[in-house]
Amino acid sequence: QVQGTIFPAPNFNPIMDAQLLGGALQGISCEKDVLIDILTQRCNSQRLMIAEAYRDMYGRDLLTDLKENLSHHFKEVMVGLMYPPASYDAHELWHALKGVDTEEKCLIDILASRSNMEIFQMKEAYLMQYNNDLQQDIDSETSGHFRDTLMNLAQGTRMEGYADPSTAAQDAMILWEACQQKTGEHKSMLQMILCNKSYQQLWM
């Protein structure tokens, strides 16, 4: 069990937070400390409520104002905080696939670490945000065994919450043999185990 470090802020007031952010962003110089103090100390659902209050208060989109007033890595972090998780995954996958060079590490980091439900949600967000099918884009922008592996992961059909000690030893032997032989057939065997067995089973 992995526990995050950002918890819902107690005594949360989205209207007050939106007002403080508006003052920080619309002044002569952007007060970055105010942005940090608020946006890094609220959970994702609270940040989305702040964005809604900001829109009601100023008639402007908080995400757009962050993009216009900030720059470089600081902008990337602040903007990233304002996305729902599935939308942010979709955003990152889109840029990884459609940029000048395909960012393989980003594709791996996201698709190899999400639950089936998270993959389903990110595919829905990808379709809504970019009017493209994620699996079709993976198919067209990558190739070979790497593409096959990503396509398998993007199906979101991994077993979940199941671990069997008796088959763990058998799977470990199959993986060891596959790594020794390094043939196309054994790469398919690697995919079958690593992309479809539950994370609990893989740890075992």
Domain-ending residue, one of 81, 96, 116: 81
Amino acid symbol at 88: Y
Burial 163-183 (b: 16+ CB within 10 A, else e): eeeeebeebeebbeebeeeee
Q: Is residue 160 part of a domain?
A: no
Domain-ending residue, one of 81, 99, 116: 81
Co-location of 66 and 116 in the same domain: no
Q: Is residue 171 part of a domain?
A: yes
| Average pLDDT score over residue span 97-111 | 89
Name, in order, each residue with C-beta under 8 angstroms of 50's C-beta and a sequence gap of 6 or more. 14, 17, 18, 21, 38, 39, 42, 62
Co-location of 69 and 54 in the same domain: yes
**Per-residue pLDDT reduced to its tens digit, 54-79:** 999 999 999 999 998 888 999 999 99
Looking at the structure of the chain, the number of domains it has is: 3
Is 80 exceeded by the pLDDT of residue 184? no
Co-location of 177 and 137 in the same domain: no
Domain-ending residue, one of 59, 81, 103: 81
Closest CA to 125 of 97, 82, 158, 84: 84
Domain with 171 in it: 165-203
Is 60 exceeded by the pLDDT of residue 182? yes
**Per-residue pLDDT reduced to its tens digit, 123-167:** 999 999 999 999 999 999 999 889 999 999 999 999 988 888 889
Is 80 exceeded by the pLDDT of residue 185? no
Co-location of 130 and 144 in the same domain: yes
Q: Is residue 7 part of a domain?
A: no
**How far is it, in rounded angstroms, from Cα 66 to Cα 79?**
6
**How far is it, in rounded angstroms, from Cα 142 to Cα 11?**
47
Is 90 exceeded by the pLDDT of residue 181? no
Co-location of 23 and 77 in the same domain: yes
Q: 21: how many CB neighbours lie within 10 A of its CB?
A: 24
Per-residue pLDDT at 183: 66
Per-residue pLDDT at 2: 62
At 177, the pLDDT band (50, 70, 90 cuts) reads: confident
Q: Is residue 69 part of a domain?
A: yes
Co-location of 77 and 104 in the same domain: no
* CB-CB contact of 203 with 184 (8 Å): no
CATH code for the domain of 131: 1.10.220.10
Co-location of 92 and 142 in the same domain: yes
Per-residue pLDDT at 186: 75
Q: Is residue 115 part of a domain?
A: yes
Burial class, 113, CB count within 10 angstroms (exposed 0-12 / middle 13-18 / buried 19+): exposed
Q: Is residue 197 part of a domain?
A: yes
Query: pTM of the predicted model, to two decimals?
Result: 0.80
Co-location of 139 and 112 in the same domain: yes
At 95, the pLDDT band (50, 70, 90 cuts) reads: very high
Per-residue pLDDT at 31: 85
Q: Is residue 5 part of a domain?
A: no
Closest CA to 5 of 37, 35, 32, 40: 40
Q: Is residue 8 part of a domain?
A: no
Co-location of 90 and 145 in the same domain: yes
| Average pLDDT score over residue span 171-193 | 81
**How far is it, in rounded angstroms, from Cα 100 to Cα 91?**
15
Co-location of 94 and 148 in the same domain: yes
Per-residue pLDDT at 29: 72
